[in-house]
A and B are shown apart, each in its own frame.
Chain A
Amino acid sequence: MPWTKLQVERQEPAFDEAEGKDVRKLSFGDALREALDQALERDPCVYAMGQGVDDPTGMFGSTLNLHKKYGSERVFDTPLSEEATIGMAIGSAMVGMRPVSIHNRPDFLLMAMDQIVNHASKWSYMFAGQVPIPLVIRACVGRGWGSAAQHSQALQGLFFHVPGLKIVMPSTAYDAKGLLIASIADNNPVLFFEQRWLYKHTGYVPEHVYSVPLGEAVVKRKGKDVTILGVSHMMIESLRAADELKKKGISCEVIDPRTLKPFDEKTLLKSVKKTGRLVVADLAWKTGGFSAEVLALVAEKGLMYLKNPPVRVAFPDIPTPASYVLEDAYYPGIKDIVKAVKKVMKK
């Protein structure tokens, strides 16, 4: 959508994870494209489909012109029939294909809840592992320029509850490529959620094929005073908050979960044991989602490490408004994470 590109260009500062380094860099969006390109090249069973994957914008650049390289049999446009197209992807997976079903926004996946929840997630279990469903569903969380309630949702919390689904949310270009390659290679349904403002961020992205394993978090910044677990774009905001807090003498350990489900408990608990303080910066409504699950986990397995109750930074529990003043009030950012850290640091 052209309006969000405008907003991203204006509002989101540049972020280069490999700033100052002389390495091969790609943007997050181009990294996604390279992952898909290499997956399509290596395995003839991989194919990509979605509304507009072959149009001039190529899903924010992430599928651009791949249809020209691989043909319209392997990269193709789909009608606005999410339930049937995802069902079709599932059926093709049953006979051995590896579909990547690409959607502009997670909001539209709700049209296919039956196929995702009642079918894809359960097919391996119901039939005792006889028919795996190696399906990847990609969608991009929207934000800004009055996108409003039905084009801005981060719905991973809904799917998070359902056994049989894996959920991946990369924050950096390196992870975008590695995790997408890993997700396509996984024999199970994987929901791969990106965020619109990440697309222009750059970082080191090796040219060769590599994968980042699912279920592994990464400590992005080592610290000793507080653990910040940041999801997707909120991970970037957490790094920026950590920079500010450093100036105030607070040392933040920033962790990127990368995969929400299965979640890397070990890495988080190890960090919480070290720092004794936890802030979760989620890209979602506060109630009933990933951040709640993290707190439950820490209550169950890490309560004894905590010096203070954990603090969450998340969207307020309301639909996203259109007006830019309301948007600004709605979306948490660096200052909210800084505030949360200060709260959890209080004696």
Chain B
Amino acid sequence: MNNILPEKLLEMFASLSRIRRVQLKIEELYHLDEMKTPVHLCLGQEAVSVGVCAHLKKEDHIFSNHRSHGHYLAKGGDLKALIAELHCKETGCSKGRGGSMHLIDTSVGHLGSSSIVGGGISHAVGAALGSRMLKKQGISVTFFGDAASEQGVFFESMSLAKLKNLPVIFICENNYYSVFSHISARQPNYDISMRAKAFDIPAQRVDGMSLLEVYEKAREAIDHARAGNGPYLLDCYVQRWRGHAGAGDPLKEQYRHPDDLDESKIRDPLKDFVSYLKNHNIADDDSLCEINKRIDREIEEAFDFARKSPLPDVKDLEKYLFS
């Protein structure tokens, strides 16, 4: 914890705060129906994206899922292109062809997110294999949720990654819910790290609500892979603050486990990290406020850009089917 440079800590604060503020702004404006695409906000889960991506370079590839915004932004994905994509504009990262669930930014190693649960896990294995064959250094990181760990392809992919000793980091954002379904209805035990250990893949359970813990554990995992020692899995406990999709969580009393309705148990990775920064004299309210102001301007510009951008030309309906 103590050997992280202040610049790095502030960088992570900015990344975390940015994701938070972008998600809140999307939630605030969603009812205007200008973003006509299903959004799956990562409020509460942001620390995992930030803590993991803090160790990644442009040449490393990430593979994301439907709850995509945090991964995209933490890896350095363009904010304007994200907001434009949510507005289904031609200037969106996927030119309006993908929507919120299919984000991409190849300039930062994000090769496309899949909305089929578990769909991107095997892609990460392939990108690592391809990179090795091309004699490139990059590692692969795949972000997925607890429900994805129920898919057969998750086990197949871990086995393949281990068999071929590939630098693949499996990051499970375990928020205990799959839409409305609690993990107890879906899995006989909740220790997802054990499933990796079945393939002799080192794995750890991580408190995904603590940015610093994610950062430390991700460092171990990523160093392990970069050293040529193969795959690693992090089973990160997180809290999904909202419902599965859209704004708010209007049905929460009807599906959440009683413990999860206890407001006092809700944790905030951003608030906790801010406390840490202040307690260790890395930053004060003023400096953090400055960063937040900059972020808010950036967000305003992004929404402005999106609103002013053109929609795709319908004449181009069939474009891009084949490359």
Interface pair A94/B111, CB less than 8 Å apart: yes
- Once A79-B160, A83-B122 are accepted as A-B contacts, the answer to whether A124 and B320 lie under 8 Å apart by CB is yes
B65 to chain A, nearest CB (A): 13
> Which residues of A have CB within 8 Å of B136?
95
CB within 8 A of B160: which of A45, A81, A126, A163? A81
User: Is B32 close to A, CB under 8 A?
Assistant: no
- Once A87-B122, A127-B98 are accepted as A-B contacts, the answer to whether A81 and B114 lie under 8 Å apart by CB is no
- Once A84-B153, A87-B153 are accepted as A-B contacts, the answer to whether A95 and B131 lie under 8 Å apart by CB is yes
Interface residues of A in 84-126 (CB under 8 A from B): 84-97, 114-115, 118-119, 123-126
Interface pair B123/A87, CB less than 8 Å apart: yes
- Once A125-B320, A128-B94, A187-B323 are accepted as A-B contacts, the answer to whether A92 and B153 lie under 8 Å apart by CB is no
User: Is B102 close to A, CB under 8 A?
Assistant: yes
Q: Interface extent on B, as a size class?
A: 35 or more
Interface pair A84/B160, CB less than 8 Å apart: yes
When C-beta atoms are compared, the residue in chain B nearest to A92 turns out to be B130
> Which residues of A have CB within 8 Å of B45?
none
Interface pair B320/A128, CB less than 8 Å apart: yes
> Which residues of A have CB within 8 Å of B322?
124, 164, 166, 187-188
Q: Mask for B128-140, Cβ within 8 A of A = 1, else 0?
A: 1111011010001
Interface pair B130/A130, CB less than 8 Å apart: no
CB within 8 A of A84: which of B95, B104, B122, B130? B122
User: Is A322 close to B, CB under 8 A?
Assistant: no
> Which residues of B have CB within 8 Å of A94?
61, 111-112, 123, 126-127, 130
- Inter-chain residue pair count (beta carbon < 8 A): 148
- Once A73-B133, A92-B129, A127-B102 are accepted as A-B contacts, the answer to whether A87 and B157 lie under 8 Å apart by CB is yes
Interface pair B323/A124, CB less than 8 Å apart: yes
When C-beta atoms are compared, the residue in chain B nearest to A189 turns out to be B322
Q: Mask for A163-184, Cβ within 8 A of B = 1, else 0?
A: 1101000000000000000000
Interface pair B126/A119, CB less than 8 Å apart: no
Interface pair B319/A91, CB less than 8 Å apart: no
Interface pair B116/A124, CB less than 8 Å apart: no
- Once A81-B156, A129-B319 are accepted as A-B contacts, the answer to whether A92 and B133 lie under 8 Å apart by CB is yes
Interface pair B112/A92, CB less than 8 Å apart: no
User: Is A132 close to B, CB under 8 A?
Assistant: yes
CA distance A94 to B131 in the complex (A): 10
When C-beta atoms are compared, the residue in chain B nearest to A74 turns out to be B133
> Which residues of A have CB within 8 Å of B321?
124-125, 163-164
Interface pair A127/B123, CB less than 8 Å apart: no
User: Is B309 close to A, CB under 8 A?
Assistant: no
Interface pair A79/B163, CB less than 8 Å apart: yes
User: Is B121 close to A, CB under 8 A?
Assistant: yes
Interface residues of A in 117-173 (CB under 8 A from B): 118-119, 123-133, 163-164, 166
User: Is A192 close to B, CB under 8 A?
Assistant: no
Interface pair A131/B112, CB less than 8 Å apart: yes
Interface pair A95/B134, CB less than 8 Å apart: yes
Interface pair A126/B98, CB less than 8 Å apart: yes
Number of residues on chain A facing chain B (CB within 8 A) = 41
CB within 8 A of B127: which of A74, A92, A187? A92
A100 to chain B, nearest CB (A): 13
B39 to chain A, nearest CB (A): 17
When C-beta atoms are compared, the residue in chain A nearest to B320 turns out to be A129
B106 to chain A, nearest CB (A): 6
CA distance A118 to B101 in the complex (A): 13
- Once A92-B130, A97-B133 are accepted as A-B contacts, the answer to whether A123 and B156 lie under 8 Å apart by CB is no
CA distance A74 to B104 in the complex (A): 29
User: Is B195 close to A, CB under 8 A?
Assistant: no
User: Is A47 close to B, CB under 8 A?
Assistant: yes
> Which residues of B have CB within 8 Å of A131?
104, 106, 111-112
When C-beta atoms are compared, the residue in chain A nearest to B118 turns out to be A114
Interface pair B116/A127, CB less than 8 Å apart: no
> Which residues of A have CB within 8 Å of B112?
94, 123, 126-127, 130-131
User: Is B124 close to A, CB under 8 A?
Assistant: yes
- Once A87-B153, A131-B111 are accepted as A-B contacts, the answer to whether A96 and B130 lie under 8 Å apart by CB is yes
> Which residues of B have CB within 8 Å of A85?
122, 156, 160
Interface pair B123/A83, CB less than 8 Å apart: no
A304 to chain B, nearest CB (A): 28
Interface residues of B in 54-72 (CB under 8 A from A): 61, 63
Nearest 9 A/B pairs, CB to CB: A91-B126, A87-B122, A84-B156, A132-B323, A92-B130, A91-B123, A81-B156, A128-B95, A88-B126
Q: Which residue numbers of A lie inside 8 Å of B, CB to CB?
A: 45, 47, 73-74, 79, 81, 83-97, 114-115, 118-119, 123-133, 163-164, 166, 187-188
Given A84-B159, A128-B320, 20 additional A-B pairs, CB 8 A: A74-B133, A83-B156, A85-B122, A85-B156, A88-B157, A88-B160, A91-B123, A93-B126, A94-B111, A94-B127, A114-B119, A123-B112, A124-B322, A126-B94, A126-B98, A127-B97, A127-B102, A128-B97, A132-B323, A163-B321
Q: 29 A-B residue contacts at CB 8 Å? A: A45-B133, A47-B133, A79-B160, A81-B160, A84-B153, A86-B122, A87-B119, A88-B122, A91-B128, A91-B140, A92-B126, A92-B130, A93-B130, A94-B61, A94-B127, A95-B61, A95-B134, A114-B119, A119-B114, A119-B119, A124-B322, A124-B323, A128-B97, A129-B319, A129-B323, A131-B106, A131-B112, A132-B323, A164-B321
